[in-house]
Structure 1
Amino acid sequence: MDVHYTWIGPPPADRNRDITAPRALAARCSGQSVKIYFWCLDAHVAAYERDFAAHKNVTVRGMQAFLTKAGTRAYRWYYWYQESDDWAVAAMTDILDWGLALATPPSYRAFVKDAWSLFLMYTWGGYVMDAGVGPHGGGTFALPEPQAFMAPSLTRDDALMIRRFQLSRLTGWQAEGDVTFNESRADEVCEAMNYGAADDGEGEMCPQLEVWMLGSPRYSKGAWAALKQYCVVWKEMQQNNTLVSDTAPQVFRYLIAGSVYNGLTRTQKGGVQAPHGALWYCTDNKNGTVDVPDLKLRKTYHGSSAQ
């Protein structure tokens, strides 16, 4: 089973931000059938290979090199099984190129990482974890193989209103499935696409979901729904020159949350279900850490680079 970490940028001065938790997980999973992948920019592969040299269950991979190789015919014949893989590689390449462009603020790389996490969940599967997520607590430690697209939640009770609707006026989206956004921000996300007000739809309640860790089998319907929603909205924002603006960071935060929620509610046959069975319920310790008791993991907040 695979676990993925990602750091987009040079190694920071505070190594707790990028490698402390992955190293701890590598040590805890030593001898198990868990493969840890640490994804970074090509320019920093050598530095991170030195950082993880003592951990044989960690493989450092360059993001640009992987996307380039994944676009070749030989790679597609050997690894890819669906046309949607080619679509995902092309979409992710566009997003990464934008995130690394000089005109894009470096803080926006946090939003590139959101897209990358969804990309890995669909095309690779396993777990994706923020760099601050690592093992916590004693006793036997074993990460179960995800059986569905899953995410953490800070509450068991419903706390958010989500609107589910069709992007009926978006060319090419008709009959492509629902999209889901926070009820209070759906119009804001649609405005960023120059779509106008969101279509009428159905409101539904959900717990306070988080996106700092995801799990999924490869090619799950949930991971696909989340990835496609994120990338389609991103592309519309690109075409309307709204990817970088005063309001864009807030739009991206609601976009990733809405996209993940869409994935959580998808059955393996593509239908819609309540998300409660696809959540890891967490304990907020009120000290900058959150525990995931079922998995013996802890998320430590070091501050987001997204502004």
Structure 2
Amino acid sequence: MDSTFMGAVRARTDAAIASGDLQPIVAEQVVMRDAGLPFTVRWVAALAAKDAAKAGATPATTLPGGPRDPNFNPFLPPDPALTVGPLGAHHNVVLNKFPVCLHHLVLARREFAEQLSPLELVDFLALAIVLSDAGGLGFYNGGAAAGASQRHKHVQWIPAAEGNASLRYLGEGLPADIAPGALARHPGLPLRHCFVRVEAGFGCDPEAAAQAMHDAFGRACAELSLVPGGEDGLLPPCNMLVGDGWMLVLPRSREHFEGVSLNALSYGGTVYVREPAQIEAIRAVGPLRALASVGIPEPGPAVA
């Protein structure tokens, strides 16, 4: 049976699809293995619609938080047809207008903050409430180079489902017996990154999980030298994923590989493309090489 929260998400989704404010998910996918790791490459038609919507926007500026039209903010106010409702004191739950899967949620700050301003405890509390209620994967695209399409501060969530991104595909390469808060690297990821063992997910106390995630993010940023800088105190571009007992944080150098936008979910084992031909671009080099090309190189053996 649905929780009250997920019941509201499903009801809003059904209403938005019925009204035409949200398009049904149309996707095709293939599974590839690279260095023993399984990757799903999924073509999602909604992403092409997202590009078409951007085409009519004001040209991009150089603002560090990102894309593409600084005068457009879809979260102030959020579209009523896509809004599930408030979440805690600081966030609204909004259906992603261009979802990569069913029930893809945006947890957006009610007041404007730059997307590259460091994640705060309240951001992790919003994620913790959803993860505790429904499991799944929380994630953050920090800046345009990390795949963010809006400057307004937000984190996102997708449910656990076949073909959806998660950290489970990396589980066998991570130590199973380390304490919460301990750091690790995955020997199969050829780029700079940091895993932190974190107790956050289905059934966890949201406040305790939020604090654990906030602490984990701080430790990972320190390990990776992701230090706020400049007059605005913004982070360098980065991604964060949290679920299945782990948090993954990694710095980013750019958004695209061969025209394919790679965001946090790509590091969760599912690469989303705009058109079927892009599947072959990923296949030609392998997903790991594509992911490494938009991250930061880190030669040498991985250590736990």
Q: Tell me if TM exceeds 0.5.
A: no
Return the TM-score normalized by structure 1: 0.29
Return the TM-score normalized by structure 2: 0.29
Higher helix share: 1
